[in-house]
Structure 1
Amino acid sequence: MNTMLTVKSLGKSFKGKQIISNISFEVKQGEIMAILGPNGAGKSTTIRNIMGIMYPDEGSITFHHSKGATIPRHKIGYLPEERGLYKNVKVMDILLYLAELKDYPLDKAKQRALDYLKKFDLEGKEKVNVEELSKGMGQKVQFIASIIHEPELLILDEPFSGLDPVSQELFKQEIRNLAQNGTAILLSSHQMNLVEEMADRLFMIHRGQKVIYGEMTDVKMEYANFKCTIHGKNNKQDLAQLPNVQRVEQEDDRSIIYLSKDVQPTTWLRQLPNHINIQELTLNRISLHEIFIDIATDKNLLQEEGVEHA
């Protein structure tokens, strides 16, 4: 796949405080790349630098072969976390206005707007003022605005905010469709389950620096150790003394046993003694959500096993 966006050694400071430092990653054509991190980690600063809202103190941003102020912004779509649609303007008028700002043909924009309004269950809302829409409906219109001009790179900052489960599924499918048709997508979201389900690669940032970068499957293999959840009344200390156990968390009759790196699940299960009370058992890798919490709260649980955060 062709590389659409290259961020190299990005650095930015405000009033002498380093906000991001040595940030480097790529977004390729047709992939969904997630940029993750807790509040204040530097995600928004990175995105604003890419969008040209501000410029870095160090490093470079390349879109195709263009850099800095020469980047063709009309080829980029952006759904900001903070919504910015004019409230007293009709839905179709605002969509056509934003398409015109991107130098996109208005006849094509109008047809695309009608098609997307129908797809997102907003058919007949084109003459409604934005302020009359619910939060979820407004989010759909904002999403349409970010893609109406057929961008080559699409930046989505918290795209699932305010959406019910049905609308989330619609968004997920459309984001996948866009990627399959060649759009490079940079996705930022705190909904780790959706990111884990959708992203091809991820870049995790904490305190302005990279902590994890790689393909989702590789990240899961590298950082997501296995955990075993047992429902049944058991002594926590007994479980902690089992082989290859990193730690045990217990609540009522549910015990979560976190296993050490490179443990063989089937071999470990055979070693469970007969006296362990098992009403129900599941064994899987820890989720991206748990990896995120581990890093964001500085538990350093992954590093305890000798693995550093990339």
Structure 2
Amino acid sequence: MLELRNITKRYGERTALDDVSFSVGDGRMTGFVGGNGAGKTTAMRIILGVLGADAGSVTSDGSPLTAVDRRRFGYMPEERGLYPKMKVLEQIVYFGRLHGWNPASARRNALDLLERLGLAERIDDTVESLSLGNQQRAQIAAALVHHPDVLVLDEPFSGLDPIAVEAVQAVLTDYAGQGAPVLFSSHQLDIVERLCDDLVIIAEGRIRAAGPRTELRDIHAPATYELLLDSDVGWLRSLPGIRVIEFDGGYALFEAETDAARQAVLREALAHGEVVSFGRQKVTLAQIFKEVVR
């Protein structure tokens, strides 16, 4: 497990991170979300040792991270760090060699990754000749070529088309499935919601919420329910313990004060006609995000 404990980072009088604590579990995909300037990149750079914290610690399985530990990390910065004049395969092999792999193994790893990321036909092209989306794929390959134990990725899905997003998702899911902790930031909340086991939400340098995605939904999102009946549901407004939020013919969106009140709605609906659907409204990550940062 990768864990940040009480991390604080200041730039003069500005506090970039204020007592930040969260963990990234082994084999867990953790989405790190927040607005521009919230502190995501600063936290990631502290994890990698690129920046030093003014207070707090970063540990792996309870032990402070060392330079040797960090060599086993895969890091993708938001700003691309590739050499534009190098050919794609040559570039990825070079990064594998920097991490200690021999030429044959680094080449084998690179070819496998580039195939999975949809760049097999571009391996002899220079990086600068690629589209921005394909450069992003190459940057991801550079972060993964040495088979890292931990992944820390800053906006890995930026600029990718839907097909590329699927390819990257498959690769990251595979790494998590092998037991690697995976932390990535993204402004694309739909991808985070679809892919992640856990969420960390940060605003103004402070953690506003952290934990399993399903638990955060239950904690931070209001329990609202949807009812769709084959007849008018106007009777719903007269039931005790029910607050109707939206009503249109046979459809209603409502809140129930208790489970008993919710069950009363279902019994009454069955008495009035055929219930087409009844259940809790699906709450999106965007809704949760707005709830915890406002």
TM-score of the pair, normalised by structure 2: 0.84
SS of match in other structure, 2:37 = coil
| Structure 1 pair 260–55 and aligned structure 2 pair: CA distance change class (3 A) | farther
What does 1:187-202 align with in structure 2 at a 5 Å threshold? 187-202=184-199
- Matched residue, 1:151: 148
CA–CA distance in structure 1, aligned partners of residues 16 and 52 of structure 2: 13
Question: Which residue number corresponds to residue 214 of structure 1?
Answer: 211
Following TM superposition, where does structure 1 have runs of at least 4 consecutive aligned residues deviating by more than 6 angstroms?
238-242, 252-256, 272-275, 278-282
Within 1, Cα distance between the matches of 2:148 and 2:192?
A: 21
Distance in 1, matches of 2:82 and 2:197, equals 30
CA distance in 1 between partners of 2:41 and 2:121 (Å) = 35
Question: In the superposition, relative to structure 1, how do residues 68 and 180 fare at CA in structure 2: closer, same or farther (>3 Å)?
Answer: closer
Tell me the alpha carbon deviations over residues 95-139 of structure 1, each in whole angstroms, 9 at most, x when there is no partner: 122222222322211111111222222223111011111122111
The farther-off stretch of 11-20 and 26-35 is 26-35
SS of match in other structure, 1:77:
strand
Percentage of matched positions with identical amino acids: 31
After TM superposition, list the pairs within 5 Å mapping 1:1-310 onto structure 2: 3=1, 5-64=2-61, 67=64, 70=67, 72-228=69-225, 248=245, 257=253, 259=255, 263=259, 265-270=262-267, 283-296=280-293, 298=294
Cα pair 1:90 1:130 within 8 Å, conserved = yes
Q: Is the 8 A contact 1:227 1:256 kept in 2?
A: no
C-alpha distance in 1 between matches for 2:281 and 2:158: 28
Aligned length, in residue pairs:
289
User: Structure 1 pair 231/260, CA: closer, same or farther in 2 (3 Å)?
Assistant: closer
1:306 alignment counterpart:
none
- CA deviations 1:165-198 (Å, max 9, x no partner) are 2221121121111111121101211222222222
**1:302: which partner in 2?**
none
CA contact (8 A) 1:239 1:248 kept: no
1:28 deviates by 2.2
CA separation in 2, counterparts of 1:21 and 1:87? 37
For residues 240 and 70 of structure 1, the distance between their equivalents in structure 2, rounded to whole angstroms, comes to 63
Q: Distance in 2 between matches of 1:176 and 1:100?
A: 25
Q: Give the Cα separation in 2 of the matches to 1:206 and 1:34.
A: 14
Query: Are the equivalent residues in 2 in contact too, given 1:226–1:285 (CA < 8 A)?
Result: no
How far off its partner does 1:43 sit? 1.1
Change in Cα spacing, 1:189 to 1:249, as seen in structure 2 (3 Å) is farther
Structure 2: segments with no counterpart, 5+ residues: 230-234
Contact 2:242 2:257 in 1 (8 A): no
Please list the CA deviations of residues 201-258 of structure 1 after superposition, one character each: whole Å capped at 9, or x if unmatched. 22211221121121222222222333346799xxxxx9888765668479x9998846
| Amino acid paired to 2:171 | E
SS in 2 for 1:86: coil
* Partner amino acid, structure 1, of 2:126: N
Aligned-CA RMSD value = 3.3
- Structure 1 residue runs of 5 or longer lacking an equivalent are 233-237, 299-310
- Alignment-derived partner of residue 232 in structure 2: none
Distance 1:78 1:244, change over 3 A: farther
